[in-house]
């Protein structure tokens, strides 16, 4: 039925308009089959499987009537022997010499390459490595400074015990904080961490763990075993210092 309606509409138009619409439809189908494939490939398989031409095609979005975005990108790269450093030296005017590359597309390419250059030249801050409870305390102490309520934070570690993230799991009142173990493990799995350090504060200044603190630690420790996650410690932090479950042989 849909095809019949489409044909009726075409026949009702002048012949020249019909041919032009058919050509435009063919061009759109051609663009979809080539132009959108890199996007789908990136979404389904990841960015590393895309060629340089496919990545540039995503940036420019479309080509021209004569060639798709991927074909246009290949032509540009062929002129520089696929050397991205040479492409980074292209000015807007250089890029606009190619049919199908206007100022907006040229700006997108230049901006992307500039981001890559800045990333390469940026100083990557070294992730602190946790070798003791004191190391963990030094990373966490600032998040608990001047709090008059309890909070529960976790440190996420890689296989070398370097910190790859710290996250607030929950907030509570002045005397307790409820912790959902599922939220803890969800954060660990999303970060692809292999190690975990628990922490919460006692605004009262007391550093002795409560029975609830011990039960919660044991619950998370059991869950971590099933998920092959290393629970390294649980710190209770106050203005007076900290208490380590590991140092006190509670883990």
The pTM assigned to this predicted structure is 0.55
Residue 235 parent element (H or E): strand 230-238
**Which among 128, 120, 130, 148 has a CA at the least distance from the CA of 204?**
148
pLDDT at 175: 62
Residue 7 parent element (H or E): helix 2-11
Q: What is the CATH number of domain 133-244?
A: 3.40.140.10
pLDDT at 103: 95
Q: Which residues of 6-16 are buried (b: 16+ CB within 10 A; e: fewer)?
A: eeeeeeeeeee
Sign of CA dihedral 81, 84, 86, 91: positive
pLDDT 10s digit of each residue in the chain, 251 long?
A: 444 444 444 455 554 444 444 444 444 434 444 445 788 888 887 888 889 999 999 999 888 888 999 999 999 999 999 999 899 889 999 999 999 999 999 999 999 998 887 877 654 456 889 999 999 999 998 888 878 889 999 999 999 999 999 999 998 876 667 888 899 999 999 999 999 999 999 988 888 898 999 999 999 999 999 999 999 999 999 988 999 999 999 88
Contact at 8 Å (CB) between 203 and 174?
Answer: yes
The owner of tokens 């030296």 is: 89
Q: Which residues of 130-141 are buried (b: 16+ CB within 10 A; e: fewer)?
A: beebebbbebbb
Domain boundaries, the chain: 14-121, 133-244
């Amino acid at each position: 039925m849909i095809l019949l309606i489409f044909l009726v509409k075409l026949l009702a138009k002048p012949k020249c308009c019909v041919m032009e619409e058919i050509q435009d439809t063919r061009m759109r189908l051609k663009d979809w089959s080539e132009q959108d494939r890199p996007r789908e490939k990136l979404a389904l398989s990841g960015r590393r499987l895309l060629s340089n031409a496919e990545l540039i095609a995503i940036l420019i979005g479309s080509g021209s009537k004569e060639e798709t975005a991927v074909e246009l990108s290949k032509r540009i790269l062929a002129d520089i022997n696929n050397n991205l450093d040479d492409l980074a030296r292209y000015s807007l005017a250089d890029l606009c010499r190619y049919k199908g590359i206007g100022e907006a597309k040229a700006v997108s390419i230049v901006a992307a390459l500039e981001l890559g250059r800045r990333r390469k030249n940026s100083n990557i801050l070294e992730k602190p490595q946790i070798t003791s409870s004191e190391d963990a305390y030094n990373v966490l102490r600032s998040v608990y400074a001047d709090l008059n309520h309890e909070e529960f934070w976790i440190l996420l570690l890689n296989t070398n015990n370097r910190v790859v993230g710290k996250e607030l799991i929950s907030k509570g009142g002045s005397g307790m904080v409820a912790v959902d173990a599922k939220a803890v493990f969800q954060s660990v799995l999303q970060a692809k961490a292999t190690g975990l350090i628990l922490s919460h504060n006692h605004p009262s200044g007391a550093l002795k763990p409560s029975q609830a603190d011990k039960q919660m630690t044991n619950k998370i420790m059991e869950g971590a075993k099933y998920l092959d996650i290393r629970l390294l410690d649980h710190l209770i932090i106050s203005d007076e210092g900290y208490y380590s479950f590991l140092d006190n042989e509670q883990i």
